[in-house]
Amino acid sequence: MCCRSSPATKVHPVLGDRVLGPRVVWLLALTAAVLAVGGCGDEPPREDPEAVIRGWSRATNAGDYDRAGAFFAPNAVVAQVEDMRLRGPADGARFSASLPCEADVTRVAAEGRTWLATFRLRDGRTPCTGTAEVRFAVRDGKLTEWRQLPPPPPPSGLRTSAPSRRSA
């Protein structure tokens, strides 16, 4: 046999008879752990709420409603015109497909256990302009709440009707 070693000395098939010190073993283990936790590719970690919100938005804008639906947790609450519960990803896909506008995330701000995202609306299935705000709750990388906020009232002092004409 070509690779015999005595019982007292074991030869590693790749490293040969080199001995790794505890510091090197610790660094190798740390590197492996970082790579395992960090994931692969360009996808951000799914636990980051902002990454989840932006990922859902990208999938919805791309028309990939199955992927958009997968961002929703079972029993997620959606509040837009009325409150509803999504039973699972298929309901999330249908909801995402029902949105009339495409929307670009312009801001995401943490609010304690929720996140407030501001979207710039643009034409989708219907003409769209303006902005919208949605409050999200994210748990374990899934959307558990999606609540569209009503638009803010017009600033005070702003006229909403034409001024009356006075004769001279």
Q: Tens digit of pLDDT for each residue in 51-108?
A: 999 999 999 999 999 999 999 999 999 999 899 999 999 999 999 999 999 999 999 9
Answer whether 0.75 is exceeded by the pTM.
Answer: no
Give a yes or no: residue 61 inside a domain. yes
The proportion of the chain whose per-residue pLDDT surpasses 90, expressed as a percent, equals 59
Expressed as residue numbers, the domain containing 75 is 49-148
> CA 129, CA 140: separation in Å to the nearest integer?
33
Q: Looking at residue 29, what is its pLDDT?
A: 41
Residue 17 has pLDDT above 90, yes or no: no
24 belongs to a structural domain = no
User: What are the residues facing 105 on neighbouring strands?
Assistant: 119
Residue 154 falls inside a structural domain? no
Angle (CA) 132 135 140, round 5°: 135
Establish if 160 belongs to a structural domain. no
What's the total number of domains in the chain? 1
Residue 163 resides in a domain: no
54 falls within a domain:
yes
Share the mean pLDDT of the chain: 78
pLDDT tens, residue by residue, 138-151: 999 999 999 999 98
Residue 12 lies in a domain: no
Q: What is the CATH number of the domain that holds 101?
A: 3.10.450.50
In a domain, 117, yes or no: yes
